[in-house]
Structure formats: C-alpha cells, structure tokens
Amino acid sequence: MAQCIIFTVDKASIMKQLVLRNTTYEKIYRALGIVILVMLIVVIITGDTSTWVFWIQVLSMFVLGGAFISLNFGTLVNRLTVEGGKLTVRWYNRAVRVTVNIEDIQEIRADENFVRIVLRTGRIIRLPTGMLEFEEKRAIRKFLKEATGV
C-alpha cells in the first residue's frame, strides 16, 4: 500500500535574502589593507625585535590589515533578510542588526540617496543607497515590496 504525503509550505516561514556588496568601498578597504600589510613587512624588516613596542606595533598592524582586507570582518556587506514574519537589516553603516516585524511596517519610501522604512510607531530606518548602482537600488525596492507587501 502506497502512502501519500503532502507537504504544505507556510509562506511566512520561507527565508528570503538580498545580499549586496558595495564594490567601491570593497576596493578602498582592500587597498588600505594591502598598504597596511606592506607597512607591516617594512616594520618587521627594519624594526628591533627585542623591544615590546615592536611586537605591539606588529600585532596591531596585522589585525588592522586583516580587518581591512576582510571588509571589516564582513560588516561592509549589506543584507536584507525576511524570515518568519520578521525583516532583518544588516547595513554597512550600522554596527548591529535591526529586526522589525513586517506587520509594523507602515510604508517604504525611496529616493536617490536613501530607502526609508517607516514603522507604525513613527520610527524611521534609513538605509543609505547613494553609493550603490541603479540596479542595486531597484533590487532593494523590489525585494522590500515583495517581502513586505507594502
């Protein structure tokens, strides 16, 4: 006897994600990282390894160069995620993620420089888009419109 199993998918539980990389900032940060690592090599070659200041300088330059090359440990990657009725915003100008309920979003406004997410409480979440390409700005607006229905 055959069993028939039907799976239903709740649309609220599906995760949607939009990831954007700011290529201008990416090139600048990686170039600065390479310059700092070259400075590190020069310091290692010319420095006095018997002093503690030398080792602090080497360690700090190594960490700083790694931070720049890794795009500030991944924080320069813009990410919008919708999962379980919540919108999570990870943007390059914010130190932490912002999570809001989709039901709390009143309207979404967009212009040349910003995408503004207006909440029912009156709070506005501004996402700077001035450095992004036109196609990326359009993708942000389209993603937010599809994900939130606003």
**Which CATH number characterizes residue 87's domain?**
2.30.29
Q: What is the pLDDT of residues 42-79, one digit of tens each?
A: 999 998 889 999 999 999 999 998 888 887 666 667 88
Say what percent of the chain tops pLDDT 90.
24
Q: Is residue 5 part of a domain?
A: no
115 and 58 in a single domain? The answer is no
Shortest CA distance to 17 belongs to which of 92, 80, 98, 78?
A: 80
Q: Does the global pTM surpass 0.75?
A: no
Question: Amino acid letter at 113?
Answer: N
Residue 24 has pLDDT above 70, yes or no: yes
> How far is Cα 40 from Cα 67, in angstroms, rounded to an integer?
14
Mean pLDDT in residue range 107-126 = 90
Q: Looking at the structure, do residues 83 and 69 belong to the same domain, yes or no?
A: no
pLDDT at 19 over 50: yes
- Residue 143 within a domain: yes
Q: Within a domain: residue 42?
A: yes
| 130 within domain boundaries | yes
60 HSE (CA, 13 A, CB side): 7
Residue 5 corresponds to which amino acid?
I
CA angle 61, 66, 69 (to 5 degrees): 125
Same domain, 136 and 87: yes
Tally of CB atoms within 10 A around 56? 10
17 beta partners: 81
Q: Is the dihedral of CA 56, 62, 65, 69 positive or negative?
A: negative
For residue 89, being part of any structural domain is answered with: yes
Report whether 115 contacts 140 (CB < 8 A).
yes
- Which tokens belong to 84? 């379980």
**Residue 44 carries which side chain, given as an amino acid letter?**
I
Q: Looking at the domain assignment, is residue 7 inside a domain?
A: no
CA 22 to CA 41: how far, in whole Å? 29
Same domain, 66 and 126: no
**Are 121 and 106 contained in the same domain?**
yes
Domain that holds residue 96: 78-148
The count of domains in the chain is: 2
Domain annotation covers residue 6: no
